[in-house]
Structure 1
């Protein structure tokens, strides 16, 4: 045929077909649209939902603003039972969804969207009506398409955007059977499985009512009671519709509104089967299907039209890239090259459309109360969910959306980035997550053995400890205090902990005291970070949100407990949604009270414990006992301060359901100040110890004696020396686990595309920082950087990164 310019024949002038036409027009690829019906954009009363991933593509084409002017975004969700009574309702959805994705949810006439798409085509002669495709002939260098009226059209490829009952798909199968028997699976023709929003739940059926600008759109979904396959998908007549509707007229939509009130005022209605499928083969030779001709899902989630737009965009991306590689003026491509283009499109889209089909199916089952679990979720748990939970479910399938790669992406700040906004596509940890968990578990075991077993191997140590705790009233010449609360079990525990802490607090051994001071003040940043994480909503009700629970490290050692905490962190932080900037913020009532809570709850008790007490050992032991629940003090103080803050703030306007995509989130200044303060405490501790060692005349005050284990061949140690070994094991295992956690946090940010960073270099920086400024300062610096990376709401350009 000798085409001098690449040309696409599009069969179908619906959402998929006209979207593709607009994309080809924008990229300079020639096309013609063949529409079987006598007019484009007919007024048939059908509706369409446009979601952010579809609107973003339309925005690239310059079509978002004219569509947005036609309708207000959905702003209210109302869920009702079969009597029309409210089960749950949520307002402020429009602003919240806009902040999350940069776009709202629009619901309007399908004809209105088609009209915008139609009017944007500059050369209307390329849009032909009354052209039903009846035959497609594959040539060596193109396709010949014949329509029902006898017209013949030549092009390089033919794209079937002609809906569920696609003639192009039938022609594709016919050509494939003739030229390549077995290419189309035998099961392919029968693979089809069946501003205010109100969802009305009923058993085996449901209603969806949406208020538009000038119209109300309604859907009645019902289960036909059996599974059917093409070509036996039922087609219904108006008589069938009347019979079914007659039995539903008295169904309650609202307590004072029956279905009959809506139905009698209808503009138009249609009873149709809602098949759901994704064909295994979308293409053969120079023919490909898109939209409903290749994948169809139940309309309740609104993904169908958006999926059609996405597939059209993916096809356009592939064509533009392939044509850019063509040499010569004719811009023709071989059939083999076109096949690769089509295959790439299907592979890019298949997993996503299958996920959308499954989720739409489950959504329909949920609202139709198909099973006992669906009834519990809809009628019992949904009323307990807040707006964020409901919108989180609505948001989960949006970030994976495609876009036109050759066109500028209009900037719209958002709290949930699209995958192509990020430095890389977010990935789950996979087997590496299990490897991290095993590593932390191993450190916990090492910590336990080193703290609770190793010291007992030295002769006489265990017996001396038992004697001190059970029969002696003196400890190294100091009278042991055995009464603190009056409760024997509590007092025994506090006495044991006093024995463990007294040598360092009282200064019986200068090296041991220095280690103890350094260690406990280095824990201040960790307590700070753990408390911050407990306040984030994304950690709500997870084990890492109960920081008081982890204060058991006072009994077993932070070396044993911290690695287990990090394993719990692994379990909750794997999903992509955990890392959305939306999920990062700390509520205002907490972020403004965190600093006084950690200072008063942990830092002050630690200072008091080591403060000189005029050699009064009874007071000193009292402060040791008082210090032990210090992580719990932090929690109590935080709750009290946050409650007090809430009661003093004005409640005239509730903004709890409105999130804002800001360049500098309101909580960031407070968090940066908190991390900077904890960094300062660690720096002062680190260099204070170094200066003390450098200028001390005490021969025992050496870095090696403070921070290194003695030779293990020594078999006779005092209780204080044995406790020093225990503290050393606790310190070094905790340091290794926590520095590994910092490295894990860096890798996580790279894994989810929020940072372009070399993990190896980051690990080297963490190791060097531990030596130069101490582990506490490294934790603070790491979380300061992590916070700024997680808060980014602007686009992060794709970039190549080091491993």
Structure 2
């Protein structure tokens, strides 16, 4: 599987590639699985165990029981009319409202940035869940996965999703067929993620200056990532089986590119907007350190700061594991198209890190997946010995 390097000035002629036997697997697959399991366990400890032991966030349960925030704002308790559901939603509203009601501008900035960057992950998971080769596999149940991370935290659940991917894709033969999405799912993906996730997220963090409205929007947002999965399935039934996408080979790619473009633009705009806000503001609560870095020195000063700490850990754990997953998928593609050197793998790490700082984690995830999509087409088309996308691919 050595990579060929044609003489300078000679057009590259990629060799044909034969799918490897099913016994050929990703090197160190067990180590990757343990890494994701460890990241999940670490996040669970930092977010859900240590904070409880330390009594963080302070006064949270008191606010839930008193149905009133520390600043006197009443806590809404009726959202759906179903008692147990409303109790869970009220609990989540208390957790989010410091940001969604804009009581703390730094918390508002962090939450809005987190959820707009997460739009990229929602899109990529939607793609992976819809690939033919992933049908009925663990990575296809993104609605259930979203339900779990809405209750527990993305930093805890996302690494477990990537652990499922490591197990599902352990055989190299996995990459040689089943990349495509059905016509219905390819066409439905973009409207589903926009209607199901993006619009509700923007609505929550729009500056309404109305705490009651913010509470209802926050409650209604909670099932948004779950609704995306439902909308993909519902919309896919509306696409006729005779559509050009259904007939053409790799006809789904143009639709996926639109998803990647949309998600990349949203993430990039959110990143630039946050940097501009933080770098031009004199408010210490809008400094980059206040917005992003967990601070144990202040996590017990108020309920809001304790919740801010948890959201910051959630952000770092969720995107840290996702960017690691991006590197792993890049590594897989490089292995199959042409054996990578240590320098190639280090360049991939540095490239992902640089793009994350400059353009944001969501943008980086989309850049990686856009690049990977082209190479997956190459792999199924039998290209080997080059990582450069052929004009025909």
Give the TM-score of the pair, scaled to structure 1. 0.44
Among 194, 202, 218, the alignment partner of 1:607 is 202
Q: Report what 2:260 is aligned to.
A: 675
Give distance in 2, aligned partners of 1:412 and 1:610: 49
1:490-518 CA deviation, whole Å, 9 max, x = no partner? 11110010011100111111111111111
Q: 1:619 aligns with which of 195, 208, 213?
A: 213
**Corresponding residue of 1:773:** 359
1:583 is displaced (CA, Å) by 1.4
Classify 1:480/1:765 alpha carbon distance in 2 versus 1 (closer, same or farther; 3 Å): same
Contact in 2 for aligned 1:591/1:671 (Cα 8 Å): yes
> Which residue, out of 158, 167, 172, partners 1:571?
167
Alignment of 1:604-753 (within 5 A): 604-613=199-208, 615-646=209-240, 650=242, 660=249, 665-710=250-295, 712-713=296-297, 716-753=300-337
Q: Determine the C-alpha separation between the residues in 2 that align with 1:791 and 1:497.
A: 42
Pairing 1:790–2:376 present: yes
Q: Is the 8 A contact 1:522 1:776 kept in 2?
A: yes
Residue 140 of structure 2, aligned match among 525, 542, 545: 545
Q: Could you tell me how far 1:454 is from its partner in structure 2?
A: 3.2
Q: Distance in 1 between matches of 2:307 and 2:155?
A: 15
Equivalent in 8, 18, 31 of residue 418 of structure 1? 18
For 2:58 and 2:386, the matched residues in 1 are separated by: 62
The alpha carbon displacement at 1:626 in A equals: 0.8
Aligned residues of 2:268 and 2:360 also touching (Cα < 8 A): yes
For 1:378-393, list aligned pairs within 5 A. none
The structure 2 residue matched to 1:487, chosen from 61, 70, 82, is 82
Match for residue 440 of structure 1 among 30, 36, 48: 36
- Secondary structure of 1:583 counterpart: coil
State how far apart, in whole Å, the 2-side matches of 1:418 and 1:785 are. Answer: 22
Inter-partner Cα distance in structure 2 for 1:677 and 1:754: 31
2-side partners of 1:715 and 1:629: how far apart? 28
Which whole-Å CA distance do the structure 1 matches of 2:190 and 2:384 have between them?
35
SS of the aligned residue for 1:483 comes to coil
Larger helix percent: 2
Structure 2, unpaired ranges of 5+ = 1-12, 388-393
Q: Distance in 2 between matches of 1:795 and 1:530?
A: 26
Change (3 A) 1:795 1:463: closer
Q: Which runs of 5+ in 1 are unaligned?
A: 1-410
**2:58 touches 2:300 (CA, 8 Å); kept in 1?**
no
Q: CA deviation at 1:482?
A: 0.6
Q: 1:479 to 1:790 in 2, by over 3 A?
A: same
1:529 aligns with 2:124: yes
How far residue 483 of structure 1 moved from its aligned partner, in angstroms, is 1.0
1:337-358 deviation per Cα after TM superposition (whole angstroms, max 9, x unaligned)? xxxxxxxxxxxxxxxxxxxxxx
In structure 2, relative to structure 1, the CA distance for the partners of 1:591 and 1:419 (3 Å cut) is: closer
In the TM superposition, what whole-angstrom CA distance separates every residue of 1:56-75 from its partner, at most 9, and x where no partner exists? xxxxxxxxxxxxxxxxxxxx
Helix, strand or coil at the partner of 2:160: helix
Q: Please state whether the residue corresponding to 2:143 is helix, strand or coil.
A: helix
Residues 247-277 of structure 1: CA deviation (Å, up to 9, x unaligned): xxxxxxxxxxxxxxxxxxxxxxxxxxxxxxx
Q: Tell me: higher relative CO, structure 1 or 2? Use CA pairs within 8 A at least 6 residues apart.
A: 2
The secondary structure found in structure 1 opposite 2:234 is helix
Taking the aligned partners of 2:384 and 2:258, their CA distance within structure 1 comes to 29
SS at match of 1:700: helix
Residue 556 (structure 1) shift: 0.3
- 1:474 CA displacement: 3.5
Q: Distance in 1 between matches of 2:349 and 2:143?
A: 30
Counterpart Cα distance in 2 of 1:456 and 1:685 = 32
Q: What is the distance in 2 between the residues matched to 1:672 and 1:752?
A: 23
Deviations 1:74-127 (A, max 9, x none): xxxxxxxxxxxxxxxxxxxxxxxxxxxxxxxxxxxxxxxxxxxxxxxxxxxxxx
Distance 1:634 1:440 in 2: 25
Rg (Cα) greater in structure: 1
Cα distance between partner residues in 2 of 1:715 and 1:780: 33
Q: For the residues of structure 1 that align with 2:73 and 2:51, how far apart are their CA atoms? A: 23
TM-score normalised by structure 2 residue count: 0.87
CA shift at 1:617, angstroms?
A: 1.8
**By percentage of residues, which structure has more strand?**
1
Paired with 1:584 and 1:650, the residues of 2 have a C-alpha distance of 20
